[in-house]
Amino acid sequence: MTILLSALAFFLLLSVLIMIHEWGHFFAARRAGVVVEEFGFGLPPRAVTLFTQGGTKFTINWIPFGGFVRLKGENAIDAREHTRPGSFGAASIPARISILCAGVFMNFLLALVILTFGFSFGKWIPIAVYTSLPALEAAAEDGLINLTLGVRIDDVVSGGGAAAVGVPEMSILTYVGDQEVTRPEDVAGMQEGKRQVIYTVLLAPEYTEEQKFTVTLSEKSEAGIVMALVPLVLEGTAQPLGTAFLTALSESWHMLVQTVHGIGQLFLSLACLDPGAPCGTVPDGISGIVGIAQYTHTTVQEGFGAYFRLVALLSLSLAALNILPLPALDGGRLLFVLVEFIQRKPVNRKFEVVTNGVGFVFLLILLVLITYHDILRLF
């Protein structure tokens, strides 16, 4: 039953993200007077035409993922056909820019809405923004999260006083004698000049069971432990909608930056230009269809909050990917429009169509390569 639910969630996730992207193109094209010849649910070949409205055929296609819009004259090689009334090429440059950017805008808007409601009603934690302990502490002071810090014993050095009495690693040090421990740097002062202290610790992994250890210190008043300040309690708060919207904007921006950086690392790795990664490999943070399916299965088990957070993340990733100036993507087509604006004349139609065609083939090969690495990670 869980597998079936995950499969349905995966199908809905991809379909909604791509369909809302295509609806943005559709709406902007209609507003600009460009004829939308087809709005397809799924990818060709066509299975059935549902109905025709306003000159647009609404169709269901055999490949059951995503969708597309086909604009009049968009891929025509002949310049006259490309610029006939009602075609994409006949629209003004501002109109064409708005049409090409509308899909990305809709994906960004979807993520922004989901994140705003998540930070307000779902009490989500902005994980992309608060990536360091000082950032978490600042957010706690602002009331955006609930945070309780503790001192964790990350390592017990062999031969030291703590190791001799069996102080466990990953436990939380709460007291040295009768003094409460709040920071790792406080412990040295509490032990200064002493040869023996009593450690009170909370045992991992639940941190509910308390135990005391009498630790003999070295001549330098050291117990032989390595400590770190870590969050013990980290919870979101119900932010007001206005504050949640601003938090969502910040989270979206950080996610977009991380996505673009990840795509850049992918191309560097494939081109063997990244000294920190094996030549021709796909970095761990990059996933294709198989990886997304895995993430979907995991989030479905964790609940609706985790699932909708994944939807927001993938919507932003789709927006970031599509706006890149690569042939066949919205950003690549946008680049041709901007070149036309700068040079005051259209780009050669055959060159543009061939470039986008080659770019589409390259993207398909890239998708196959990423999916192959997804499958390798399964084993």
- Location of each CATH 2.30.42.10 domain in the chain: 145-235
Is the pLDDT confidence value at 265 over 60?
Answer: yes
pLDDT at 335: 93
Q: Can you name the residues that pair with 230 across neighbouring β-strands?
A: 150
pLDDT at 328: 83
Average pLDDT, the chain: 86
Residue ranges in the chain assigned as alpha helix (H):
2-31, 79-82, 93-120, 133-141, 161-164, 184-191, 241-270, 289-302, 304-323, 330-343, 349-378
104 — pLDDT class (breaks 50, 70, 90): very high
Greater model confidence, 6 or 21: 21
Is the pLDDT confidence value at 276 over 70?
Answer: no
What lies within 8 Å, CB to CB, of 89 at 6+ separation is 73, 74, 76, 79, 82, 83, 346
Greater model confidence, 6 or 193: 193
Pairing of strands 172-176, 179-180: antiparallel
Is the pLDDT confidence value at 68 over 90?
Answer: no
- Return the closest-CA partner of residue 43 out of 26, 61, 56, 69: 61
Read off the amino acid at residue 322: N
- Fold of the domain built from segment(s) 145-235: Pdz3 Domain (2.30.42)
pTM above 0.85, yes or no: no
